[in-house]
Amino acid sequence: MHDARALIDLGDEAVRRLARRGYALDLAALESLQSRRNQSIRIADELRSEAKRVAAEVQQAARAGADVSGLKETARKLKEQIRETEAEHEQVQQELTQLLLTIPNLPSDDAPDGDSEEFAVEQRRVGTPPEFSFTPKDHVDLGESMGILDFGRATKLSGPRFSVLRGVGAALERALAGLFLDLHTRQHGYTEHSVPFLVTRSTMTGTGQLPKFEEDLFATGVAERELFLIPTAEVPLTNLYADEIIAPAELPIALTAHTPCFRSEAGSYGRDTRGLIRQHQFSKVEMVRICAPQDARAEMERMTGHAEACLRELDLAYRVVTLAAGDTGFSSQLTYDIEVWLPSQSTYREISSVSDFGTFQGRRAGIRTRDENGKPVPAATVNGSGLPIGRTLAAVLEQHQQPDGSVLLPESLVRYLGFRRINPDGTPAPERPEQPEQPK
């Protein structure tokens, strides 16, 4: 959320920057609402001052035994005017807030021009995509032939875009989450949290999911109580500090959690409907950092490294790109996408987004710190996936598949699983080959 005054002061510069992401800022409407708000505050203050003066006159006249009926009538009218002015102020403030809630973050000038993934700028590639002497299968064919993925039964339970993982598949899902959480907590300095999966409207608004993306959320409620299923752990993790002032010495705060995520994927029908790439329910390890505004970009670079570490541990080929301004998320001013190689598609696909939100979420959620003069100011937030389990599992199966239909897992997962190879029939291969039985 923006400071209206700051946007107005930027003027045409704000219009230019927002136009890069396809948003047409109505500066005149914003200025009008801000002016009406300020005027209502000024008039209300003047009326209160006048009411206070008349009240003093009433007391003074009453002590002198004078007739105070006229003064009381004046006081009554002033009180009514104050109520009307306060109501007008509340209405204008609500209109201004609603407008500000719909204005996306100003994209950084470091974001390239463009409005789709085609305009993303590649920063680097890490690892070499595997070359196969056979036609590689996609993760759906691999998983279903092994019996570790079952989309048919998932559809029977919940409809399309759900999955069931069985046996080694479920164990692999758990192992990936354990690996990521251990990396982030033991090496990267994050504090693990277990958070609610149902949150309030104000919590969703604090990180920018509402009102913009309401159609993409799953909502529920009992009686008059409204709650939303989280689309990412970013929502509860960031809002842990909503309406709080964090001492500068406590920053940066690094938070992580493994949660299910729920998204309706409105408007994406026909895209990635096969397999684990785009589902209504998936699990993800999330990273959030809260920091001083001047440190946000450095914290974003640090978090990107933490997400990349997960991919390196899994021996996965990937690349990092800077998203174009028009393809950057509503709350973000700059986003790096980390894309993993999927052999079945012969291309890189997004597996993590790391975003610098600046003070945008801090202002919306009331997360503050103090500047060098001790004045409360909005804190900055940075967020990234580290990593989504389903997409990572798909990449592991596809990049590490073998000619005989087995999958040779990365060494980093052995201590979580107790085995390294998944046989073609979905059974785990012993870590050490069994010795042949010796003749008696």
Q: Which of 161, 297, 302, 391 is catalytic?
A: 391
Q: Is residue 88 exposed (0-12), middle (13-18) or buried (19+ Cβ within 10 Å)?
A: middle
Q: Which of 344, 353, 385, 406 is catalytic?
A: 353
Residue ranges per structural domain of the chain = 4-101, 117-427
Report the pLDDT value the prediction gives residue 149, as an integer from 0 to 100: 97
Task: Please indicate whether residue 385 is annotated as part of the active site.
Answer: no
Q: Which of 144, 214, 265, 350 is catalytic?
A: 350
Preceding amide of 387 cis, omega within 30: yes
Give pLDDT tens digits for 150-166. Answer: 999 999 999 999 999 99
Task: Please indicate whether residue 63 is annotated as part of the active site.
Answer: no
The beta-strand segments (E) located in 234-346 are 244-245, 253-262, 281-291, 318-322, 334-342
407-408: strand order across its sheet: 407-408, 419-422, 428-430
- Mean of the pLDDT values across residues 1-13? 94
Preceding amide of 260 cis, omega within 30: no
- All residues at 6 or more sequence positions from 149 whose CB lies less than 8 Å from its CB, including other chains: 139, 140, 142, 143, 163, 164, 165, 166, 169, 276
319-342 b/e (C-beta count within 10 Å ≥ 16 → b): bbbbbbbbbbbbbbbbbbbbbbbb
Q: Which of 17, 20, 37, 263 is catalytic?
A: 263
H or E element in which residue 353 lies: strand 347-356
Report the pLDDT value the prediction gives residue 436, as an integer from 0 to 100: 45
Preceding amide of 252 cis, omega within 30: yes
Give pLDDT tens digits for 208-235. Answer: 999 999 999 999 988 889 999 999 999 9
Q: Using an 8 Å Cβ cutoff, are 394 and 276 in contact?
A: yes
This prediction's pTM: 0.91
| CATH architecture, domain 4-101 | Orthogonal Bundle (1.10)
Task: Please indicate whether residue 350 is annotated as part of the active site.
Answer: yes
Task: Please indicate whether residue 250 is annotated as part of the active site.
Answer: no
Query: pLDDT category, 266, cuts 50, 70, 90?
Result: low
Q: Which of 278, 312, 349, 370 is catalytic?
A: 278
Task: Please indicate whether residue 391 is annotated as part of the active site.
Answer: yes
The mean predicted confidence, pLDDT, of the chain is 94
Higher pLDDT, 309 or 67: 309
* Range name among 16-30, 35-49, 60-74, 415-429 with the lowest pLDDT average: 60-74
Query: pLDDT category, 1, cuts 50, 70, 90?
Result: confident
Q: Which CATH class is domain 117-427?
A: alpha beta
- Mean of the pLDDT values across residues 39-53? 95
Give pLDDT tens digits for 366-422. Answer: 999 999 999 999 999 999 999 999 999 999 999 999 999 999 999 999 999 999 999
- Mean of the pLDDT values across residues 55-61? 91
H or E element in which residue 213 lies: none
Share of the chain above pLDDT 70, in %: 96
